[in-house]
Homo-oligomer: A and B are copies of this chain.
Amino acid sequence: MAERDFIARLLAPLATTPAARGLSDDAAVWMPPIGRQLVFTHDVLAAGIHYLPDDPPSDVAWKLLAVNLSDLAAMAATPAGVLLGLGLSAAEDEAWRAAFVAGLGRALAHFGVALWGGDTVSGLAQAVLGLTAVGWVEPGKALGRAGAQPGDALYVSGSIGGAGLGLAVARGARPFDKALLGRFRRPMPRLALGAALGGVASAGMDVSDGLLIDAERLAAASGVGLAIALDAVPLAVPTSDLAEVLAQVTAGDDYELLFTAAPDVDVAGLNAATKTPVTRIGTVVAGSGLALRYEGQLVPVPTRLGWEHG
């Protein structure tokens, strides 16, 4: 299918918002909400790097949208619209493209996000899928990685390590487990919690490369240390084997939110208002880097903290 047909026949029916102008102009035009700051992110997924070539195309579309919305959630932003940059190879045949677009349409509808525009290129050696997500936040309420203060508590949403185990399932290295596979293929951005954290959390980010590596980044950006109780981390697969704990807290793709806030923040209220589990896993301390404890004992910080991009 030629690119123009792909856009006109498959993508244009998804671009129902007036801002998209039916994907027939050179750009999208959108009136932003009055008195709001805008939040922009762009993440790229490459076949064979960020997803497996035989992952279902509808799940690839979900993941492409979800990882970008997770960045907005990490900034306490509410999503509005997206632009696509699709680089496709011969492996993404007509059936793949149709399934991808159908899945994208369902994902956009699920999150209430508009498709505004983008670009498609065919004939590449490998699929490379980019997406720009645009959202908004009340002025001054955007979260950042800097801002954690000694004495703050450290929290994480949901559970950790499931996506890494799901990748092992997808690779055939673990027995089939639908829930874990879903964590890898269809991450769920924590948009409600993120929006609720604006003005509440002192620092925040999403856990995309592994809990420990992302915690270390938050600590570095804030100029503080983080004391983490590994046995308090809500693991996707609970275990009393420290090696298995460490495997889960250094696995990527969880797309949970990691944030710091006063120790008396109303966790139960956040939980109830956003239907999102929130668990305290540690404390912000003076200093730098990570201090890990397991059953009260200090644990050496692993050499590999998560996924370091090549």
| A3 adjacent to B132 (CB under 8 Å) | no
- Among A26-45, those with CB < 8 Å from B are 26-32, 34, 37-44
- Among A159-216, those with CB < 8 Å from B are 205-206
Q: Say yes or no: A4-B145 contact (C-beta < 8 A), given A46-B87, A85-B44.
A: no
Q: Say yes or no: A121-B46 contact (C-beta < 8 A), given A24-B221, A85-B85, A309-B3.
A: yes
Of A34, A46, A124, the most chain B CB neighbours within 10 A belong to: A124
| B309 adjacent to A130 (CB under 8 Å) | no
**Does chain B have a CB within 8 A of A118?**
yes
Instruction: Please count how many residues in chain A sit with their CB below 8 Å of the partner chain's CB atoms.
Output: 65
| B26 adjacent to A205 (CB under 8 Å) | yes
Stretch at the interface among A97-105, A136-144, A264-272, A275-283: A136-144
The residue in chain B whose Cβ has the minimal distance to the Cβ of A133 is B27
Across-interface contacts of A142 in B (CB, < 8 A): 29
**Does chain B have a CB within 8 A of A244?**
no
Q: Say yes or no: A27-B309 contact (C-beta < 8 A), given A41-B117, A42-B83, A44-B85.
A: no
Min CB distance A147 to B, Å, is: 10
**Does chain B have a CB within 8 A of A55?**
no
* Cα(A24)–Cα(B124), bound, Å: 31
Q: Say yes or no: A40-B44 contact (C-beta < 8 A), given A4-B308, A119-B130, A126-B126.
A: no
| B130 adjacent to A75 (CB under 8 Å) | no
**Does chain B have a CB within 8 A of A228?**
no
Across-interface contacts of A49 in B (CB, < 8 A): 121, 123-124
The residue in chain B whose Cβ has the minimal distance to the Cβ of A134 is B40
- Contact mask for chain A residues 53-84; partner B; CB cutoff 8 A; 1 contact, 0 none: 00000000000000000111011010001011
| A42 adjacent to B118 (CB under 8 Å) | yes
Given A2-B308, A49-B123, A85-B85, 7 other A-B residues pairs in contact with their CB atoms under 8 A: A4-B309, A21-B144, A25-B74, A28-B39, A32-B38, A121-B128, A123-B310
19 pairs from A and B in contact (CB 8 Å cutoff): A3-B309, A4-B309, A25-B74, A26-B75, A27-B41, A28-B41, A29-B75, A29-B142, A30-B40, A31-B38, A32-B32, A41-B83, A42-B83, A42-B130, A43-B85, A46-B121, A87-B130, A122-B310, A124-B126
